[in-house]
């Protein structure tokens, strides 16, 4: 059985880029490109021993690329595994006589087995730390209480704390054990509990779970939970439990019925029976740019109506702004806030809660991978405009200051550090490819001279200058240094019948090219002449390019 390869071990573009063909190239297109490069690099064309040696190396590389891509089985393996899939020394990928379809099916099977192996090793830890802060002294204090206190500093204290953690232990491919526990304290009184759940996936349509728990606050717990897909658009969840305490046994049951109303909308019906019985219905609509929820509940002791809306900005930081209103027998609460991604694995959010009779609170949440840190700060029991103002403006000013002084410099330094490590790890490979590119340029000289003579005789396509790499065009990045290489000769060598066609593959794999700035964005800038008229184009790396084009023409005024 072939071991599945990791994603970062797969490199599919080199051979296609070397031959300058599309990934969907036909056998005829491969053959034409191969013959052209063979004529360019054939060792017998060069008398100089050094040039002959360099030509032989490049000729063998082109031949290897053609052999792989011209064979359907090898090409299928290469498209899936990359070049490592072709190196069978020490291990076997798949039988080479299989069809491309069978090879892809084998790859999918290996992917499933890899996921199963990962499942056996994964514990999927999740945790939450919540620290409640009572800061009502900042706004609700009475002046007479501070007459005898020097300075009259307000008193801010931590009045509650909650810590919870859970881990998963896969027992088999269908059975999982989940161990969880929590500790809580509020105004000096606290307790904890521990739970063990055994979950079994019974089929593709459902699973069941049995839960056992014990604690010093509620006593032993015995519960069961079932999930089942009724149809392709509808599922049901049922949960029943028995809570044992000194007052007796307290049973409870919850059932949720959900249905897809359309592609982005879900409808839920929930029934809860027990000490706090209720019936709840809600509609949730989640799209790429927004999230909307409407819910109603009738129950004991609380009945309410709630509506919330969240807007998702389409930016790299995944910024979201949200607002909600909830009204019921307990009063009315309005909440608004925002959250934003501050690093690769961290999301920071803040929410202001204004309610009657709850008062004003500020809730700060930090999600770091699978860990959550939550800080609810109660500011006042009254509706004070000053509390609302500071709860809104304070976190915003603090975030902007931290973003500018700490987060951005840290992220920038981290990116530069990662980029430097990547450069160091690929330094030897870059040096080798640079040497190959320089050798290729030397071997192209004679062919380029003939191509230029032919193109000049017909007033065709002449590449005057061409550069490939990182260009600094933004005035705000003036201090950065451009990192480009001259690729005039390699591009002229690819001209045929007054046309130059480059595929969507990265240009660094083209003959005579190499990557001058590993890990950074690159472009290809070409200044060329066609029919005696100057043209210029700047093309991002990885995009197809066809020249000449009327849109590349440089006006006489310029």
Residue 98 pLDDT: 56
**500 lies in some domain:** yes
> Which of 309, 310, 311, 304 lies closest to 333 in space, CA to CA?
304
Do 305 and 222 fall into the same domain?
A: no
* pLDDT-based confidence at residue 130 (cuts at 50, 70, 90): very high
Do 439 and 549 fall into the same domain?
A: yes
Do 442 and 302 fall into the same domain?
A: no
Residue 445 pLDDT: 86
Query: Is the model's pLDDT at 89 over the cut of 60?
Result: no
CA pair distance 36, 19, nearest whole angstrom? 9
Do 442 and 543 fall into the same domain?
A: yes
- 15-24 tens-digit pLDDT: 887 888 887 8
pLDDT-above-70 percentage for the chain: 85
* pLDDT-based confidence at residue 406 (cuts at 50, 70, 90): confident
Average pLDDT of span 366-381 = 91
* pLDDT-based confidence at residue 93 (cuts at 50, 70, 90): very low
* pLDDT-based confidence at residue 309 (cuts at 50, 70, 90): very high
Query: Is the model's pLDDT at 235 over the cut of 90?
Result: yes
Angle among Cα 454, 460, 466 to the nearest 5 degrees reads 95
String of DSSP letters for 274-341: STT-EEEEEEEEE-SSEEEEEEEEEESS--EEEEEEEEE--STT--EEEEEEEEETTEEEEEEEEEEE
Do 68 and 118 fall into the same domain?
A: no
Do 472 and 504 fall into the same domain?
A: yes
**Average per-residue pLDDT in the chain?**
83
Average pLDDT of span 203-224 = 88
Do 109 and 66 fall into the same domain?
A: no
**473 lies in some domain:** yes
Residue 86 pLDDT: 62
**235 lies in some domain:** yes
If one counts the domains in the chain, the total is 5
Residue bearing the bigger pLDDT, 13 or 249:
249
Kindly tell me the burial class for residue 421, based on how many C-beta atoms sit within 10 Å of its own C-beta (0-12, 13-18, 19 or more). Answer: exposed
Q: Sign of the CA dihedral 408, 410, 413, 415? A: negative
Q: Which domain holds residue 20?
A: 7-91
* Least reliable range by pLDDT among 31-35, 270-274, 365-369, 372-376: 31-35
Query: Is the model's pLDDT at 275 over the cut of 50?
Result: yes
Residue 70 pLDDT: 86
Residue 146 pLDDT: 46
* Least reliable range by pLDDT among 87-91, 107-111, 439-443: 87-91
Do 49 and 116 fall into the same domain?
A: no
- 417-471 tens-digit pLDDT: 887 887 777 788 888 888 888 888 888 888 888 899 999 998 999 999 999 998 8
**CATH value at residue 217:** 2.40.160.40
* pLDDT-based confidence at residue 144 (cuts at 50, 70, 90): very low
Residue bearing the bigger pLDDT, 476 or 397:
397
Residue 7 pLDDT: 39
Residue 210 pLDDT: 95
**2 lies in some domain:** no
Average pLDDT of span 58-71 = 85
Residue 475 pLDDT: 53
The count of other CB atoms within 10 Å of the CB of residue 329 is: 10
Residues 535, 545 contacting (CB under 8 angstroms):
no
Query: Is the model's pLDDT at 389 over the cut of 50?
Result: yes
Query: Is the model's pLDDT at 91 over the cut of 60?
Result: no
Query: Is the model's pLDDT at 122 over the cut of 70?
Result: no
Residues 279, 254 contacting (CB under 8 angstroms):
no
- 315-333 tens-digit pLDDT: 878 899 999 999 998 899 9
Residues 201, 171 contacting (CB under 8 angstroms):
no
Query: Is the model's pLDDT at 558 over the cut of 60?
Result: no
Residue bearing the bigger pLDDT, 110 or 293:
293
Query: Is the model's pLDDT at 96 over the cut of 70?
Result: no
The count of other CB atoms within 10 Å of the CB of residue 509 is: 20
E strands, 171-233, are 175-186, 189-203, 206-215, 221-231
Do 113 and 247 fall into the same domain?
A: no
Residue bearing the bigger pLDDT, 479 or 233:
233
Residue 62 pLDDT: 86
Query: Is the model's pLDDT at 2 over the cut of 60?
Result: no
* pLDDT-based confidence at residue 525 (cuts at 50, 70, 90): very high
Residue 6 pLDDT: 40
Do 445 and 537 fall into the same domain?
A: yes
**83 lies in some domain:** yes
Residues sharing a CB contact under 8 Å with residue 285, sequence separation 6 or more, in sequence order: 264, 265, 266, 291, 292, 293
**136 lies in some domain:** yes
**CATH value at residue 58:** 1.10.287.110
* pLDDT-based confidence at residue 58 (cuts at 50, 70, 90): confident
Ramachandran class of 75: left when φ > 0, alpha when ψ lies in -120 to 50, beta otherwise: alpha
**403 lies in some domain:** no
* pLDDT-based confidence at residue 99 (cuts at 50, 70, 90): low
- 474-502 tens-digit pLDDT: 554 555 566 889 999 989 988 888 999 88
**167 lies in some domain:** yes
* pLDDT-based confidence at residue 90 (cuts at 50, 70, 90): very low
Do 127 and 228 fall into the same domain?
A: yes
Residue 39 pLDDT: 79
Q: Which of 63-67, 98-102, 113-117, 206-210 has the highest mean pLDDT?
A: 206-210
């Amino acid at each position: 059985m072939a071991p599945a390869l990791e994603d970062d071990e797969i490199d599919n573009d080199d051979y296609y880029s070397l031959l300058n063909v599309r990934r969907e190239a036909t056998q005829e297109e491969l053959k034409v490109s191969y013959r052209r490069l063979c004529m360019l690099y054939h060792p017998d064309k060069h008398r100089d021993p050094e040039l002959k040696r360099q030509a032989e190396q490049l000729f063998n590389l082109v031949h290897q690329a053609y052999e792989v891509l011209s064979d359907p089985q090898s090409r299928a393996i290469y498209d899936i595994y990359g070049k490592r899939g072709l190196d069978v020394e020490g291990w076997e990928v798949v039988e080479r006589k299989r069809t491309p379809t069978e090879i892809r099916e084998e790859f999918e099977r290996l992917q499933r087995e890899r996921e199963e192996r990962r499942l056996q090793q994964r514990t999927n830890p999740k945790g939450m730390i919540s620290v409640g802060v009572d800061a009502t002294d900042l706004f609700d204090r009475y002046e007479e209480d501070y007459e005898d206190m020097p300075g009259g500093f307000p008193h801010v204290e931590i009045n509650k704390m909650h810590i919870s953690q859970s881990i998963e232990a896969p027992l088999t491919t269908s059975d999982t054990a989940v161990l969880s526990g929590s500790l809580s304290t509020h105004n000096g009184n606290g307790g904890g509990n521990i739970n063990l759940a055994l979950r079994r996936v019974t089929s593709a349509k459902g699973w069941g779970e049995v839960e056992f728990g014990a604690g010093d606050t509620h006593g032993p717990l015995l519960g069961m939970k079932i999930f089942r897909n009724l149809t392709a658009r509808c599922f049901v969840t049922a949960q029943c439990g028995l809570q044992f305490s000194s007052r007796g046994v307290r049973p409870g049951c919850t059932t949720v019925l959900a249905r897809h109303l359309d592609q982005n909308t879900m409808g839920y019906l929930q029934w809860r029976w027990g000490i706090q019985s209720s019936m709840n219905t809600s509609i949730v609509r989640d799209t790429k740019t927004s999230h909307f929820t409407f819910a109603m509940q009738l129950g004991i002791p609380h009945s309410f109506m709630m509506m919330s809306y969240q807007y998702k900005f389409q930016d790299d930081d995944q910024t979201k702004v949200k607002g909600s209103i909830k009204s019921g027998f307990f009063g009315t609460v309005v909440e608004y806030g925002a959250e934003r991604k501050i690093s690769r694995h961290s999301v920071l959010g803040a929410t202001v809660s204004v309610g009657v009779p709850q008062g004003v609170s500020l809730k700060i949440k930090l999600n770091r991978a699978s860990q959550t840190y939550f800080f609810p700060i109660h500011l006042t029991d009254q509706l004070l405009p000053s509390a609302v103002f500071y709860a809104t403006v304070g976190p915003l000013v603090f975030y902007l200051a931290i973003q500018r002084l700490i987060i951005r410099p840290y992220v920038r330094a981290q990116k530069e550090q990662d980029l430097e490590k990547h450069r160091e790890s690929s330094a030897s490979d870059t040096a080798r490819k640079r040497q190959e590119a320089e050798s290729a340029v030397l071997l192209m000289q004679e062919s380029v001279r003939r191509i230029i003579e032919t193109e000049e005789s017909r007033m065709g396509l002449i590449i005057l200058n061409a550069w490939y790499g990182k260009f600094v065009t933004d005035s705000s990045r003036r201090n950065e240094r451009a990192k480009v290489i001259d690729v005039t000769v390699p591009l002229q060598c690819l001209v045929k019948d007054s046309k130059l066609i480059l595929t969507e593959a990265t240009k660094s794999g083209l003959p005579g090219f190499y990557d001058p700035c590993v890990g950074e964005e690159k472009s290809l800038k070409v200044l060329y002449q066609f029919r005696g008229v100057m043209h210029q184009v700047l093309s991002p790396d990885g995009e197809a390019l066809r020249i000449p084009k009327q849109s590349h023409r440089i006006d006489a005024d310029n």
